[in-house]
Amino acid sequence: MSMSSSLLLPAVASDHEHVRALVRVSPGIPFAVRVVKRGIDIVMAIFGLLIAAAFSPFIILAIRVDSAGPVFYRQKRAAGTGVRNRSGRRQFASFDMLKFRSMRIDAEKQTGAILASENDSRVTRVGRFLRKTRLDELPQLWNVLIGDMSLVGPRPERPELFENLALAIPFFEERMRDCRPGITGLAQISLGYTGRAPSGSVVAQMDSCLVNPFKLANADGSEADDMRTKLLFDLAYVASLEHFWTFIATELTIILKTPWVMLRGLGR
């Protein structure tokens, strides 16, 4: 996929092993792209909610039978690039994202806010199925309809996690510039559950730049490694919004491939 934005992938350089990155900030999404994208969001959200209404009662019943707790889960997620306050910390606009509950109600009692991992022990039996098929994301169609999210876009992170990732990964916040967070995205249809690039892919050949680029001790397998890989796909998607026909091709490709990812159980 072509990109009009200039993007230099992070690389380890010299004895200091610092990261060099160059991202040209988009001048803005064209009006035509904004109108069509919002139109697609509204139509697909209404259509999706009508279809979901047919089998959501079965999901609700399964969650109720499987574990104690509410059926729906409301969680704060970050949107936009954020601004720095007087103390230097980055603050993000946030919204309440809806999901079918897939974890125990005390999932973060001991750990606090952390990213979910593959085979996460906090996930319920029904929740494991919902996550693999991404059916736990269905309530977010309501977020799309009211304008908090878009059908396609970078996945939103928890504000506290977003801040830490922005500190660890140069330009991480740029993935949300001028773009609503999405239910699905280029990263979700291109990568596995953990976000690691498929073996033998072009991106996998860049592991030396993406996986522990600072060569820190005991840092292998960190959450930031997978998020660096996802960042490449998120930036590519945001760049595609700069031109109408590139946007149309990318948007439709992601929308059409998402059901296949769901059926194969490759979602995160």
Pairing relation of β-strands 72-84 and 90-100?
Answer: antiparallel
Residue 93 phi/psi, 5-degree rounding, is -65, 145
Q: Residue 92: its pLDDT value, please?
A: 75
**47 vs 203 pLDDT, higher one:** 47
114-123 pLDDT per residue, tens: 556 556 668 8
Q: Residue 4: its pLDDT value, please?
A: 44
- Long-range (24+ apart) CB contacts under 8 A made by 49-53 are 49/141, 49/142, 49/145, 52/138, 52/141
Q: Residue 41: its pLDDT value, please?
A: 97
Asked whether the predicted pLDDT for residue 184 surpasses 70, the reply is: yes
Q: For a pLDDT cut of 90, what percent of the chain falls above it?
A: 37
Provide the pLDDT confidence category of residue 221 given band limits of 50, 70 and 90. low
Mean pLDDT score, 208-231: 73
* b/e code 182-200 from CB counts within 10 Å (16+ = b): bbbbbbbbbbebbbbbeee
72-112 pLDDT per residue, tens: 989 899 887 666 667 666 677 889 999 999 887 766 665 55
Asked whether the predicted pLDDT for residue 62 surpasses 80, the reply is: yes
Token pair for 212: 């522990």
Q: How far apart are CA 9 and CA 177, in angstroms?
A: 18
Q: How far apart are CA 209 and CA 80, in angstroms?
A: 26
74 membership: H or E segment, kind and range: strand 72-84
Q: How far apart are CA 263 and CA 44, in angstroms?
A: 19
